[in-house]
Amino acid sequence: MAPQLQGYFDQVDLMSDSFIARLAAAVAIPSVSADPELRHHVFKMADFLEKLLLALGATVERRPLGIEPARPTLELPPVILSRYGNDPNKRTILVYGHYDVQPALKEDGWATDPFVLSVDEKTGKMFGRGSTDDKGPVLGWLNAIEAHQKAGIEFPVNLLMCFEGMEEYGSEGLDDLIKKEAKNYFKDAEAVCISDNYWLGAEKPCLTYGLRGVSYYELTVHGPAQDLHSGVYGGSVTEPMTDLVKLLGTLVDNKGNILIPGLSELVAPLSEDEKLLYQGISFEMQDLYDGLGSETSIHPDKERTLMARWRYPSLSIHGIEGAFSAPGAKTVIPAKVIGKFSIRTVPNMEPKDVDELVYQHLNFEWEKTRTNNTMKVGLGHAGKWWVSSPKHWNFAAASKAVESVFKVKPDMTREGGSIPVTLTFEQATGKNVLLLPMGSSTDAAHSINEKLDKRNYIEGIKLLGAYLHYVAVEPQIEQ
């Protein structure tokens, strides 16, 4: 018998204003994990979640992770472990999210203050850093608990929660904690659910069964001992920026073709059966254009666009550290510049093989420059790709939940982004991992004007609760 959810749905609607206010309070905390000056706000966000969880009657354990290895003056924010319910007659589900956010400054191009939730009542768009990535989904689980309590409806499962504060800066220390707790705090978990990704389009929900991995590199070119005046030294010194730009230009072209020899040979070949899967997915090129804010796509059709996002690797150049980037003009020759780029990896690209090809290529190109500067390339962090079975009972339950809330069957999709913790949970616990997104493709996570639509937030709270009801009773048939 299908769960009776109308009472829960009605309660979520009644509490929608308070749930939005709660999101506003969370967005107001600038928990930017990458910025040392804002690290204390990441701890403040951990306190915020702990207080809410305790008020809901959950148990909470803060797990300290020690000092950040790369920056020994900084303490890593804690992982918040929490449990709601301990009924041996109920299934136990483990959920994960993160409470840190990407950097954001008004001068980056935001239309509003990034740390004030700005609600456009006409469109229902709620703008603010972390609104969709990942504070909205994290609060969604807590809101689901509270709505059950206020509606007088029994919570269907024992819920284990794992919320970290370093996801946007490499998840330092998390893998070791998960491996340690797999047979301890997480030992009762029968399935895992993560809500930290997005719908493929803007209208139809999806469930995600695959992710690309990521290998993030730093390419350093060093020349003079200090920054120099270009009017005094220009033309008489070998400039590091010139060498760096030359090297970066050898990595990828403007059609997305990776220029590193041997890399494409690592990719699993496309089968005819897999190719057919892309035809039935609900996706319009206009969805992509809406997300881009332009029509600057590489491919003109759905199938090639989705394959480029999901099942083929990509290389992106992210920025240059050490170069002048502020408004105005500054005639400086930087002494050392660091180019930052990443490769999104796919089956069957093993990280160590990717590293070897990257280093080999850059060393070869460096020799061709015949420069007297010095070069160093290193891996910042890496996470492997992940693919699961969309036929697992965990996915079947989530599919029914989507139908109960949105009245449509979800698309089964892969995703171009990387959530390395997904693979870690799967390998450590031995349980199926489901990605159940709340936000849409137009949310601009990691970009300016990040937002979460009211509809996605409120209906998403309903979805998370409905999923827990369906997964509580779904026959555990392995496929």
Catalytic, 164? Answer: no
pLDDT at 2 (0 to 100): 79
In one letter, which amino acid is 468?
A: L
Catalytic, 203? Answer: no
pLDDT at 50 (0 to 100): 98
pLDDT at 418 (0 to 100): 79
pLDDT at 379 (0 to 100): 97
* Beta strand 433-435 pairing with 191-194: parallel
pLDDT at 479 (0 to 100): 57
Q: Which of 100, 146, 287, 453 is labelled catalytic?
A: 100
| Residue among 341, 371, 379 nearest 241 (CA) | 371
Taking only the tens place, the pLDDT of each residue in 409-455 is 999 899 888 788 999 999 999 999 999 999 998 999 999 999 999 99
Q: How many CA atoms lie within 13 A of 155 on its CB side?
A: 26
Q: Which of 50, 134, 167, 415 is labelled catalytic?
A: 167
pLDDT at 1 (0 to 100): 63
Tokens of 30: 């600038």
Its sign, for the CA torsion 205, 209, 212, 213, is positive
pLDDT at 335 (0 to 100): 98
Low-confidence ranges of the chain (pLDDT < 70): 1, 478-479
In one letter, which amino acid is 255?
A: K
Taking only the tens place, the pLDDT of each residue in 94-111 is 999 999 999 999 999 999
